């Protein structure tokens, strides 16, 4: 019995070794289990004799949306309502966490130009930036709908570049919450302060 096993092992080794011929060969390698390697198929970018336009690579059916990429929530993704007017209220609910995120992102992405106060005197103004960044503390920007600021961040405006690639959608809305906080901080009236704290304000 042992002998037979040894013989089988030896002949298998011989078979394996004889496979390594040590030189190149034009013949296809021995392929014991070819699976579907040699089936008829189209290679990418190759020509098709089946389709009229002769392209093997087909476009997705019109209206196809990749998983997770359905952007049906217009106000959130575009800052506009279905009638294409700007949304007035921020679609992201305000929480302390959102405000902190907005502050952090604002200080990273907007403050270099608009300054941490939003007064448009960011550090770039020391280096002859051609157009002074806008101050947020003017009535025109204070009364601007949230959706319009969203669009400005997403598309850029005149001399301000777009930040849609750097800032994800939810962060843009968080930044807008923070811009509103900055505006209130620079334009506060006495009634913004809780009654029991007003005596702490010096006239
Ligand atoms: C590279 C500098 C730069 C950065 C960064 C920048 N801005 Fe601006 N922004 C400008 C300039 C310059 C203008 C004025 C554009 C003009 O009038 O030509 C402007 C204008 C604006 C305006 C007013 C647009 C109008 O209607 O007049 C808003 C609102 C604004 N920026 C928001 C933001 C926010 C929010 C961020 C951060 C996500 C940001 N900006 C980042 C340079 C910048």
Is 26 part of any domain? no
Percent of the chain scored above 70 by pLDDT?
96
Give tens-digit pLDDT for 104-115.
999 999 999 999
Domain extent, residue 128, equals 93-190
Ligand 1 atom 38: residue of nearest CA: 110
Is 39 part of any domain? no
Which residues in 2-82 belong to E strands, given as ranges? none
Looking at the CA of residue 159, tell me the nearest atom of ligand 1. 18
Q: How many domains does the chain have?
A: 1
Question: CB of 160 closer than 6 A to ligand 1?
Answer: yes
The residue to which tokens 């921020």 are assigned = 90
CA distances in angstroms from 84 to 71, 87, 147, listed in the order given: 15, 9, 10
Q: Highest mean pLDDT: which of 54-63, 116-125, 145-154?
A: 145-154
Is 88 part of any domain? no
Give tens-digit pLDDT for 62-82.
989 999 888 888 999 999 999
Q: Kindly give the distance from the C-alpha atom of residue 187 to the centroid of ligand 1, in angstroms, as a whole number.
A: 20
Residues 6+ apart with CB under 8 A from 55: 47, 48
Looking at the CA of residue 136, tell me the nearest atom of ligand 1. 29
Q: Highest mean pLDDT: which of 24-28, 52-56, 185-189, 197-201?
A: 52-56
Q: Kindly give the distance from the C-alpha atom of residue 86 to the centroid of ligand 1, in angstroms, as a whole number.
A: 18
Is 160 part of any domain? yes
- Spatial distance between the Cα atoms of 148 and 132, rounded to a whole number of angstroms: 20
What DSSP assignment string belongs to 132-155? PPPPS-SHHHHTS-HHHHHHHHHH
Q: Kindly give the distance from the C-alpha atom of residue 152 to the centroid of ligand 1, in angstroms, as a whole number.
A: 7
Question: CB of 113 closer than 6 A to ligand 1?
Answer: yes
Is 48 part of any domain? no
Contact 30, 19 (CB under 8 A): yes
Find the Cα–Cα–Cα–Cα dihedral 154, 158, 160, 162, rounded to 10°: 30
The residue to which tokens 């777009």 are assigned = 162
Mean pLDDT of the chain: 89
Q: Kindly give the distance from the C-alpha atom of residue 97 to the centroid of ligand 1, in angstroms, as a whole number.
A: 24
Is 179 part of any domain? yes
Q: Residue 142: name the closest of 105, 185, 190, 107 by CA.
A: 185
Q: Kindly give the distance from the C-alpha atom of residue 203 to the centroid of ligand 1, in angstroms, as a whole number.
A: 33
Is 32 part of any domain? no
Looking at the CA of residue 129, tell me the nearest atom of ligand 1. 12
pTM of the model: 0.73
Q: Kindly give the distance from the C-alpha atom of residue 146 to the centroid of ligand 1, in angstroms, as a whole number.
A: 14
CATH number, domain with residue 117: 1.10.760.10
Is 46 part of any domain? no
């Amino acid at each position: 019995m042992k002998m037979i096993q040894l013989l089988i092992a030896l002949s298998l080794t011989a078979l394996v070794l004889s496979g390594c011929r040590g030189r190149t060969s034009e013949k296809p390698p021995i392929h014991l289990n070819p699976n579907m390697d040699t089936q008829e198929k189209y290679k990418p970018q190759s020509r098709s004799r089946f389709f009229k336009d002769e392209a093997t690579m087909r476009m997705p059916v019109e209206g196809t949306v990749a998983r997770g990429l359905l952007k049906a929530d217009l106000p959130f993704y575009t800052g506009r309502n279905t009638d294409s007017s700007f949304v007035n209220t921020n679609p992201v609910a305000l929480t302390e966490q959102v405000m902190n995120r907005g502050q952090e992102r604002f200080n990273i992405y907007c403050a270099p130009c608009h300054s941490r106060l939003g007064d448009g005197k960011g550090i770039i103004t020391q280096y002859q930036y051609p157009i002074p960044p806008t101050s947020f503390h003017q009535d025109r920007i204070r009364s601007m709908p949230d959706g319009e600021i969203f669009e400005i961040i997403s598309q850029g405006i005149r001399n301000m570049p777009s930040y849609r690639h750097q800032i994800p959608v939810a962060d843009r809305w968080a930044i807008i919450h923070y811009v509103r906080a900055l505006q209130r901080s620079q334009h506060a009236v006495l009634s913004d302060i809780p009654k029991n704290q007003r005596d702490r304000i010096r006239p």
